Amino acid sequence: MTENVWTRWPSREALGRRESTRPKRLLAWTIRLLGAAAVAWGTFQDSRGWVVVAGVAGVLVAGALGWGLFRATLDHRLWPSLGVVVLLFGLAVAAEAGGFGTAALIVCCGCAVASVERMPLVTALPVAAAGFSFFAVVNDDAVLVTAAIIAVMALAGYSLRLDAEARGQTRRLLAQERAARAAEAESAAFAERARIAREIHDVLAHSLSAQLVHLEAARLLIERGADRGQILDRVVAARGMARDGLEETRQALSALRGDMTPLEDFLRDLVHAADGAEVTVGGERRALSAEASQAVRRVAQEALTNVRKHAPGAKVRVALEYGPGEVRLDVRDSGGSPGELAGAGGGYGLLGMRERAELLGGSLDAGPDEEGFVVTLKVPV
């Protein structure tokens, strides 16, 4: 619901001076003090004795009430603001009765202008009317001159109000922009932490799963009373997987630092360790983003791990194709009898790879084909 313009207070950002610079505040206070000194000198230069004391006391009281009006309007407190205005009007009447006509006019006109600048219009208009009426009654100038002066002061007060509102709107927009930048930086930090967590998880899941396969095989061989050499082969293989996991950890850290080996070299090194595996690369090669490159690497690792677990001895073909708008990875195996350790591991590898692909705007499909099993990754580039 839109707030009524007549009953709306100027915003706290508009009424306050919190965003002002120190030199600007010092300049404003210097101008105020010089103006007050000039008014006091012009008013009290021919006065003597108690009149001067009373005049100075009146100036101090008017300054204190003016500060009270500033604070009350800043806090949007209507009745305290009106109470301070009434006291200022009373002080102006007393100053006029005591022979300080100039000071009285300054107080009344100041109240009128300040009310237009800082109070709701429905309240400011009666206050301004009272102040300008006092000015019209006391002022000795011609009617047209008095009317012109009143119009100028009213326009000045409204201009100050519009200027304050513009400043307040600017400050609110700046505050919102700062908040948006802070939220964006926090979101970027969360995204980076999530990416690091995915890299660590993928490395550990791949390495530990492979180690688990060989260690579980060693356990089964021990239970069946197998030859010591067979058991030792499995343990040595697990040790090799641990070594490979350490190397993959180094690669993941290099990826996080933006320093990775070429993707084609990585795939060739990966399939070199797999029996009966081959890799082909097609299309116009191009540099990929760190996230896209890591997605291809992790899917290739996970797919080859699954082949070792579910179709040991199967022939594997890894194809990397650079298309006009995407890069595609196919990992196909020729099928085979499931290994006796096919159930080892958590079974969440391909699910994690699919989530990684979807975060990049791509897709991952996995399922049987005519020969065996195929994993297809598509990542936009």
Nearest to 302 by CA among 227, 175, 185, 203: 203
Domain limits, the chain: 12-140, 260-381
What integer is the mean pLDDT of 180-192?
81
Q: Are 351 and 298 in contact (CB under 8 A)?
A: no
pLDDT at 248 over 80: no
pLDDT at 55 over 60: yes
Task: Using a cut of 0.85, tell me whether the model's pTM lies above it.
Answer: no
What integer is the mean pLDDT of 8-15?
78
Q: For residue 20, give the H/E element and its range.
A: none
Q: Confidence class of residue 377 from pLDDT cuts 50, 70 and 90?
A: very high
pLDDT at 251 over 70: no
Output the pLDDT for position 341.
41
Q: What does DSSP say about strands 277-283 and 316-322: parallel, antiparallel, or unpaired?
A: parallel
What integer is the mean pLDDT of 308-312?
76
pLDDT at 4 over 80: no
pLDDT at 310 over 60: yes
Q: Confidence class of residue 34 from pLDDT cuts 50, 70 and 90?
A: low
Output the pLDDT for position 1.
41
Dump pLDDT digits (tens) for 12-21: 777 776 655 6
| Cα Rg, the chain, nearest whole Å | 41
Output the pLDDT for position 342.
42
What integer is the mean pLDDT of 262-288?
78
Fold of 260-381: Heat Shock Protein 90 (3.30.565)
Output the pLDDT for position 29.
65
Q: Confidence class of residue 146 from pLDDT cuts 50, 70 and 90?
A: confident
Q: What is the mean pLDDT of the chain?
A: 78
Dump pLDDT digits (tens) for 321-374: 998 888 999 998 877 665 444 444 434 467 777 887 888 888 998 888 777 888
Share of the chain above pLDDT 70, in %: 78
User: C-alpha angle with apex 94: 91 to 98, nearest 5 degrees?
Assistant: 135
Please tell me the distance from the alpha carbon of residue 58 to that of residue 61, in angstroms, as a whole number: 5
Dump pLDDT digits (tens) for 111-132: 888 888 888 989 889 999 998 8
Strand spans (E) along 86-216: none
pLDDT at 209 over 60: yes
- Helical axes 143-223 vs 349-359, angle rounded to 10°: 160
What integer is the mean pLDDT of 29-36?
65
Q: Which of 48-57, 80-89, 187-196, 275-284 has the highest mean pLDDT?
A: 80-89
